[in-house]
Structure 1
Amino acid sequence: MTGKIVCIDLGGTKALCGLANQGAVANVKRYPVPSSASKNEMTDYIIDLIDKTVTDECVGIAIGIPGVVDSDTGYIFEVTNIPNWRNINLTGILGARFKVPVMVHNDVNCFAYGEYKYGAHFDNGLPCQTILGVCLGTGLGAGVVISGRLYEGRHGLAGEFGSAPYLNNTLEDYCSGQFFRNLGTDGAKEYELALAGDQRALRLFEQLGSHLGVAIAHMQLAYDPDVIVLGGSVSNAYHLFEAAMHARFAQFEQCEHLKICISSLPHAALVGACELFYQRYRIELTNLQSA
């Protein structure tokens, strides 16, 4: 397939937008997300990102969003931390605007599939076929690749561990940036304090790791993957919570041989979105380009 895909990795606070093609991504730029925008303003924001990125070489658009989406139709039901942007046929809107095929998917599914296709994950010398891509950022979510195929579940909810009940709330409230916000602080601020040796901040990351160990154990027991790959902004502090996380899930005997690593693949969600777009439209675009 020739031509480039405009790819967007939309988060709760930031968006990455660039041009991707078969594992390569270029012209990636970061933009703040107007999370309190109205429904129409948020849609206009996405259109503006595409306008800033699209070129004559582009043959499609692929977007990963942090929420519940019907990947077959591109209909968005709800988006984490962008409360007004819901119940919208984004594929239809963007397809009519830009006259190219459009794919809208869950952002963590894009991340997981990008890791499967281009991440260096091996088991006994062979490429891993069953991978969980777990994003620790504004929220908590996982993408599931089983035997080389993305698994979404009947309603596209596979991997949505963040919504699972835990203690007095949900796993997401204890295993993501939400953990710090619920305490009236900010994860980035606490990270800097922890690096400077602040004992309170260090204890907070240990607590985060202990909670995350429970979440990881549930993921392992649910899918028994070859490897769990962590990404998202909170994973940058892995060295601060790794020991506490391992100590917690080590209490579960079934997790004894669990492999966990941090993503080292640049823009995994963007290349994953591109690959999922190829899966959806490969035959259609091949016929279009040969006509």
Structure 2
Amino acid sequence: MREVIGVDLGGTGIKAGRIKNEKIDAHVVCPTPKTDTAEEVIDNIIDVIKQLIQPTTEAIGIGVPSVVDVENGIVYDVANIPSWKEVHLKDFLEAVFHIPVHINNDANCFAIGEKIYGVGRNQQNFVALTLGTGLGAGVIQDGRLLKDANCGSGEFCIVPYLDGDYEQYCSGMFFQKLGKDGVELYNLATAGETSSLKRFDDFGLHIAQLVKLVVATIDPQMIVFGGSVSKAFPLFEKSMKKGIQDFAYPNSIKKLQIKVSEIENQAVYGAAALCYQ
């Protein structure tokens, strides 16, 4: 396997790793600077990469929480980084490091990371759903990220649902909507506290509606969950599976595999996996 670098750019932190033989052999984390200038954030990314890059490094992959012009490596309107309205990140970094740089939305990175390193290795068509602070999705078709016009495929989060949208009911926002701390609820539920268990049962029923939406629109072989909330899968698995049984095409549900990511440092591996596309 190639030696590549994966970088996860977030609103609060930059995480990066050098991956060799499918393992992270060096890792760097630094805060994302609070600044009005895009250049300062770029300088931090460059500094992080400099700490990892070697003469044997072949490519760099970067995941960002935003819309990306994938072909040209232009990043638009990054969440929680106000200065990043339009950043030609690929051009900046290739001018410094002289190796290929690949950039994509962080949810797409999660999907391709599962294809290259995770439970999607032997699957040609699947959807990866990130259940975290928000809801994200990446679509793999014919073994590759689905090509689209504006890096917007799989944005199930904005589809109207009940009194809001799917993101409000199928991510950590659901527990915030209840006025509850998700971690506290998880700890109480794993200890067997009845009302907390009920919250996760309710969450599973909402996830069931999301699964049916994904199957109706994409019809994948598999759905894989990732993100912080996916760690609570055993608490909502039963109600989710019950909630999908009334789908209009029972055979699609019967064939569907539903799994949880087994990758640690999902965001770094996902960014690195872009180098294989």
TM-score band, normalised by the shorter chain? 0.7 to 0.9
Residue in structure 2 matching 1:206, options 193, 201, 208: 201
Indicate yes or no: 2:89 matched with 1:94.
Answer: no
Counterparts of 1:119 and 1:38 in 2: how far apart (Å)? 37
Distance 1:37 1:135, change over 3 A: farther
Aligned equivalent of 1:273: 271
Distance 1:278 1:227, change over 3 A: closer
Counterparts of 2:80 and 2:178 in 1: how far apart (Å)? 17
Distance 1:224 1:199, change over 3 A: same
TM-score by length of 2: 0.85
Tell me the SS of whatever aligns to 2:202.
helix
Aligned equivalent of 2:18: 19
Q: 1:20, 1:26 within 8 Å by CA — same for their partners in 2?
A: yes
Q: 1:47, 1:94 within 8 Å by CA — same for their partners in 2?
A: yes
Give aligned pairs, total: 273
Aligned equivalent of 2:261: 263
TM-score by length of 1: 0.82
Question: What letter matches 1:24 in structure 2?
Answer: K
Deviation, 1:29, is 4.6
Aligned equivalent of 1:5: 4
Paired-residue identity, %: 39
RMSD (Å) for aligned C-alpha atoms: 2.6
Following superposition of structure 1 onto structure 2, how do residues 54-133 of structure 1 map, counting pairs within 5 Å? Answer: 54-121=53-120, 127-133=122-128
Counterparts of 1:72 and 1:45 in 2: how far apart (Å)? 23
Question: What letter matches 1:262 in structure 2?
Answer: V
Counterparts of 1:226 and 1:9 in 2: how far apart (Å)? 28
Counterparts of 2:49 and 2:19 in 1: how far apart (Å)? 13
Aligned equivalent of 2:144: 149
Deviation, 1:65, is 1.4
Following superposition of structure 1 onto structure 2, how do residues 166-181 of structure 1 map, counting pairs within 5 Å? Answer: 166-181=161-176
Runs of 4+ in 1 over 6 A off after TM superposition: none
Following superposition of structure 1 onto structure 2, how do residues 185-200 of structure 1 map, counting pairs within 5 Å? Answer: 185-200=180-195
Aligned equivalent of 1:286: none
Describe the superposition over 1:64-106 as per-residue Cα deviations: whole angstroms up to 9, x where unpaired: 1122111111111233454553322222222334343221111
Q: 1:177, 1:187 within 8 Å by CA — same for their partners in 2?
A: yes
Question: What letter matches 1:192 in structure 2?
Answer: N
Counterparts of 1:89 and 1:207 in 2: how far apart (Å)? 43
Deviation, 1:11, is 4.6
Q: 1:21, 1:271 within 8 Å by CA — same for their partners in 2?
A: no
Indicate yes or no: 2:220 matched with 1:225.
Answer: yes
Distance 1:195 1:53, change over 3 A: same
Q: 1:142, 1:161 within 8 Å by CA — same for their partners in 2?
A: yes
Aligned equivalent of 2:48: 49
Deviation, 1:151, is 0.2
Distance 1:144 1:59, change over 3 A: same
Counterparts of 2:193 and 2:265 in 1: how far apart (Å)? 32
Tell me the SS of whatever aligns to 1:58.
coil
Q: 2:94, 2:101 within 8 Å by CA — same for their partners in 1?
A: yes
Mark the runs of 5 or more structure 2 residues left unpaired by the alignment: none
Question: What letter matches 2:140 in structure 1?
Answer: V
Question: What letter matches 1:188 in structure 2?
Answer: V
Q: 1:18, 1:29 within 8 Å by CA — same for their partners in 2?
A: yes
Distance 1:120 1:51, change over 3 A: same
